[in-house]
Amino acid sequence: MRLSTEFIAGVLAGGILGWMCDHFLGTKPWGLIVLLMLGFLTGVYNVMRVSGALPKAPTTKQDR
Amino acid sequence: MAVKMDPIHQFELKPLVSFGHIGNQEIAFTQSALYMFAAVGIIALITVVATAQRSVVPGRMQSMAEVFYEFIGSTLRQSAGHGSERFMPLIFSLFMFVLVLNMLGMIPYAFAVTSHIIVTFALAFLVIGTVIVYGFMAHGTKFLKVFVPSGVPGWLLPMIVAIEIVSFISRPISLAVRLFANVLAGHIALKIFAGFVPALLAAGAWGAISPLPLALSVAVTALEFLVAGLQAYVFATLASIYLSDALHPGH
């Protein structure tokens, strides 16, 4: 549950950012495409961080 | 015997006192707000009232309040480290609020406030707003170092910074979605398993296996109590982890 929400939140955040970027800056459809892909990356990154696959990354020292 | 299976019905908002309309949206004091007030009342009862005597040898209620306080205090110290004491009121309030609301939601026929994503998102937004405001107040622009992890090779840095920014924005979402999804899914599962019992009983010979979903719904109830407590704890822990970024950016 923890890992799946982390991943979903990453994708959602990317999607929302991309949609807002498109909506307000008129960059349709590139903002959504780029930021959704970035969102997927973020989701994977979040999952890696939570599951402890990035042991040496200093930002994550106190994350569990 | 007609059995109505509507597991979503329990999450419907029912206005108790209406204050009129803004546009097409009715502004009302709903049962959700009533439960929130009840939660605040219960928290006040077990913290303010119970500790009013301040006896050295605590009574039953006072020791309960002390256990909660010590528990959250140690959690906060472990995850946010030095200087995190100033966030104790926030984290303690959040934990108690979510815990009491979750537990109130477990009472049969009661309404689970935390099953509405707008409530959990408001709480998550409060946390992340505190992180941003306090981060900039305490560290100025140095707070932006939170997006730049040290020890990353230069050619990878733009990518990592972009990912870190999206990751930061995903935090309130994951905080809100986790609590909301757990409570919502638990209540729906409970309703459905419990709904199997009368459905099977109504189906003639199938009634023979109706004790099965009954036992299952008892087990799921126990699990939901665990989830109710655990999610409040997880919410408080993650909130204090995020606050540790505001206290010590660029770690």
pLDDT tens-digit series, residues A11-57: 988 888 888 888 888 877 888 888 888 899 989 888 888 887 765 44
pLDDT band of B97, cuts 50, 70, 90: very high
3-state secondary structure of A61: coil
State what percent of residues in chain B have pLDDT above 90: 33
Q: What is the pLDDT of residue B39?
A: 93
Answer yes or no: is A63 within a domain: no
Answer yes or no: is A59 within a domain: no
State what percent of residues in chain B have pLDDT above 70: 97
Q: What is the pLDDT of residue B250?
A: 63
Mean pLDDT of B104-116: 89
Answer yes or no: is A64 within a domain: no
- Taking CA atoms, B46 is separated from A37, A61, B88, B124, in Å, by 48, 35, 17, 24
Q: Do B177 and A5 touch (CB under 8 A)?
A: yes
**Cα-flanking dihedrals φ and ψ of residue B185, to 5°?**
-65, -40
Q: What is the pLDDT of residue B37?
A: 94
Query: Would you say B157 and B145 are in contact if contact means Cβ atoms under 8 Å apart?
Result: no
Q: Do A1 and B181 touch (CB under 8 A)?
A: yes
pLDDT band of A59, cuts 50, 70, 90: very low
Q: Do B173 and A64 touch (CB under 8 A)?
A: no
Q: Do A10 and B244 touch (CB under 8 A)?
A: no
Query: Would you say B98 and B72 are in contact if contact means Cβ atoms under 8 Å apart?
Result: no
Nearest to A10 among B146, B166, B234 (CB): B166
Residue B169 and residue B146: Cα distance in Å, rounded? Answer: 13
Range of the domain at A36: 2-51
Answer yes or no: is A37 within a domain: yes
Residue B194 and residue B188: Cα distance in Å, rounded? Answer: 10
Q: How many CB atoms lie within 10 A of CB A26?
A: 8
- Number of A to B CB contacts under 8 A, please give it: 77
**Cα-flanking dihedrals φ and ψ of residue B30, to 5°?**
-95, 175
Chain A contact for B55 (CB, 8 A cutoff): no
B154-213 tens-digit pLDDT: 888 888 888 888 888 888 998 999 999 999 999 999 988 888 888 888 888 888 888 888
Stated pTM of the model: 0.83
> How is B44-110 classified by DSSP, letter by letter?
HIIIIITTSS--SS--HHHHHHHHHHHHHHHHHHHHH-TTGGGGHHHHHHHHHHHHHHHHHHHSTT-
DSSP 8-state assignment for residue B140: G
Provide, as residue numbers in chain B, all residues whose Cβ is less than 8 Å from the Cβ of A2.
178, 234
B123-134 tens-digit pLDDT: 999 999 999 999
B87-96 tens-digit pLDDT: 999 999 999 9
Answer yes or no: is A33 within a domain: yes
Bridge partner residues of B15 (DSSP): B30
Tokens of residue A24, six digits: 């307000």
B248's CB contacts (< 8 A; 6+ apart) are B81, B82
Residue B134 and residue B148: Cα distance in Å, rounded? Answer: 18
Q: Do B173 and A13 touch (CB under 8 A)?
A: yes
pLDDT band of B236, cuts 50, 70, 90: very high
> Which amino acid would we find at residue B197?
V
Task: Please state the domain count of chain A.
Answer: 1
Q: What is the pLDDT of residue B5?
A: 67
Least CA distance to A57: which residue of chain B?
A: B149
Mean pLDDT of all residues in chain B? Answer: 86
Provide, as residue numbers in chain A, all residues whose Cβ is less than 8 Å from the Cβ of B79.
62, 64
At A32, which helix (H) or strand (E)? helix A30-50
Mean pLDDT of B33-53: 87
Q: What is the pLDDT of residue A57?
A: 46
Answer yes or no: is A62 within a domain: no
Of B69, B168, B68, B179, whose CA–CA distance to B122 is shortest? B179
CA distance B35 to chain A (A): 27
Least CA distance to A62: which residue of chain B?
A: B79
Residue B70 and residue B81: Cα distance in Å, rounded? Answer: 15
Mean pLDDT of B208-222: 90
Residues of A with CB under 8 A from a CB of B: 1-2, 5-6, 8-10, 12-14, 16-17, 35, 38-39, 41-43, 45-46, 56-59, 61-64
CA distance A11 to chain B (A): 8
Answer yes or no: is A60 within a domain: no
3-state secondary structure of B22: strand
Answer yes or no: is A24 within a domain: yes
Q: Do A56 and B178 touch (CB under 8 A)?
A: no
Mutant choice from A42, A48, A50 vs B, greatest count of B C-beta within 10 A = A42
Q: Do A62 and B251 touch (CB under 8 A)?
A: yes
